[in-house]
Structure 1
Amino acid sequence: MAFNPNNVLMQDSKTGSVPVEEGTFVLKDFMTQSVVTQLAKYEKMDKTEKKFTYLASGPGAYWVGEGERIQTSKAQWLTAKMVSKKLGVIIPVTKEFLRYSIKDFFTQMQPAISEAFALKFDQAALFGIDSPFGAGVSVFERIEEKGNKIQLGSLGNLYKELNGVISLIEEADKDPNGFTTTRRFKQSLRGAVDNQGKPIFNDPGAGATNSALGLPIGYVNSKSWDHNKAHLLTGNWDYTRYGIPQGMEYAISEEATLESVVGSDGKPINLFEQDMVALRVTQQVGFMTLADDAFAALTPAAEGAGA
């Protein structure tokens, strides 16, 4: 008989691949919650490594006199290699969940899995927090390497500082195409005005995308953000790439002790003692940045500054 996730209970199938339909829903939810997957360009990956070429600079054009030969110039194409890493989440649940069918179980777990994936991926991609992709790969690490930072309060008002952040990228002859920040910074954006006293923040309402100075704003879950390093990031996000090469896999344990998760008594959860099970889900995800001059940050005011 063919495997059918509608008919098989979790207690009878404690390891395996997440069913395609449910895995697709989780991935779509993850990609909706992650600001990086919304801003970065997707690279299709069939394996855990992928080499691809990208246009670093285009060919030049020349004025040509009548009868003269047209000069030629080469476009600069560079090769990059993206390597995916395994992203995993462990979720403790009561044993009653084992009586769910595989399909229903992952339908129930979808929000928790996708949120956990989005939080961890955005942390690594934006700030390099617990990043498996190597040093200097995250957006903020590239910003620090280039020195593309403007301090909040350093130019007198937020309008000038955001304009300054944008100009840092334009100086490299690149066009920024989006801001990313947290909702806690939304109040500052909403109160900012230009030199004519007009608001620079636009909120169309009804769930539409906010914008400032003509650039859309993507909001990150505050848990994914390093508030000590930046208030806001911007850049040409075409210079960030991500890929998802294979389906999700899962395993269920009934006897492990979860050292990183504590119960109400402050002690690590022992699944056997507490009659619980733990779901582990893993997924390969790749990420890389392609330029160090394509991003800039608005950073916190120096301690003691009168911003």
Structure 2
Amino acid sequence: MAIQTFNPDNVLLSEKQDGTFTPEMTSALMQDVAGNSLVMQLGTYEEMNGRQEKTFSFQTDGVSAYWVDEGQKIQTSKPEFAEATLRAKKLGVIVLASREYLTYTWSQFFNEIRPQIAQAFYDKIDQAALLNEDNPFAFSVDESATTAGNVITGDLTFDNILALEDAIYDDNGEVSAFVSSNRNHSLLRGATNPDNPTETIYDRNSREIDGITTVNYKDLPKGTVLAGDWANVRYGTPYNITFKISEDAQISTVTNTDGTPVNLYEQELIALRATMDFAFMTVKDEAFAKLEAVEVVPEV
């Protein structure tokens, strides 16, 4: 007898309510997450092979060449390495839907909820890793810039942007990309050289700052720009995304308009819980810098 395999085009949602997505579904969902997460776009991926932790080595300085006289031995150059441990944390999302979705095939349902799950994951990843908001990790880009003393306070001016770059260049680093926000476009267009007002630091067509790739991050506050050598960001995803569907749970984190918890059984709803594991760290604080506006304290 041939072994039947799960076919999301033929199996109804009511017939399979827990386990893992098919490889094709997982791949599509992870592509959505990776394609929209700035951390995953800019950082370096570490293969974790199903492990919750991974210790790896990274080079902290380069090798050197030496001048030698005829007949002398050439000195041996030994690069220096450090070790770091990448640890994964679990990230979960619960999506509520009408019980009518139980009559959908898995393919139909997946296509409906895929954008919501992907956005929930990549929003949370970037908020934690970039801004240190609701952050389960011991690292963030914001913390690295602060620890390194690479925080420039002031307006988005020509000179302050150069100072932002110099904070990294002075440590022999490279600025591989800026992270800015569409809210900053008008400010950046006014960032001209005070000694030569026709010289601008922002290209309106390419949206590059000082000729360097600049990516948009919608959650970045107005007046804030991050700069970094993003090879010093490492991340990993040790496991596939998993799911479970419930028809009778009580959801304590979501309430009805009267303040009572949502009860799936009583209200004829279903809830899909999706979880993924994500690991993140920065390996060098000095590789990151931040320019932020002066906080205006209102008069009492």
C-alpha deviations, 1:173-230, integer Å up to 9, x for none? 01010011222223222332234223322243xxxx63110111111232xx4x39x7
* Matches of 1:161 and 1:255, distance apart in 2: 56
* Matches of 2:250 and 2:173, distance apart in 1: 50
* Matches of 1:98 and 1:270, distance apart in 2: 17
The change in CA–CA distance for 1:146 and 1:68 in structure 2 (over 3 A counts) is same
Matches within 5 A, 1:264-279: 264-265=257-258, 267-279=260-272
The change in CA–CA distance for 1:248 and 1:304 in structure 2 (over 3 A counts) is closer
Measured on the aligned residues, the alpha-carbon RMSD in Å equals 1.9
Q: TM-score, normalised by structure 1?
A: 0.89
Q: Tell me the SS of whatever aligns to 2:65.
A: coil
The change in CA–CA distance for 1:183 and 1:265 in structure 2 (over 3 A counts) is farther
Residue-pair matches, total: 292
Matches within 5 A, 1:12-91: 12-46=15-49, 47-91=51-95
**Offset, 1:127:** 2.3
Which of 281, 288, 299 lines up with 1:295 in the alignment? 288
Partner of 1:175: 174
Where does structure 1 lack aligned partners over 5 or more consecutive residues? none
C-alpha deviations, 1:13-43, integer Å up to 9, x for none? 1111011111111111111111111111111
The change in CA–CA distance for 1:85 and 1:199 in structure 2 (over 3 A counts) is same
Partner of 1:215: 212
C-alpha deviations, 1:245-296, integer Å up to 9, x for none? 2211001122223232244445543322322111110011111100111100
Where does structure 2 lack aligned partners over 5 or more consecutive residues? none
Q: Tell me the SS of whatever aligns to 1:303.
A: coil
* Matches of 2:23 and 2:103, distance apart in 1: 20
Partner of 1:138: 140
Partner of 1:113: 117
Identity %: 35
Q: Tell me the SS of whatever aligns to 2:32.
A: helix
Give the conservation status (yes or no) of the 8 Å contact 2:176–2:212.
yes
Give the conservation status (yes or no) of the 8 Å contact 2:13–2:101.
yes
* Matches of 2:258 and 2:207, distance apart in 1: 43
- The answer to whether 1:126 aligns with 2:126 is no
Q: Tell me the SS of whatever aligns to 1:57.
A: coil
Please say which of residues 113-122 and 77-86 is displaced more in the overlay. Answer: 77-86
Give the conservation status (yes or no) of the 8 Å contact 1:22–1:107.
no
Q: Tell me the SS of whatever aligns to 2:192.
A: coil
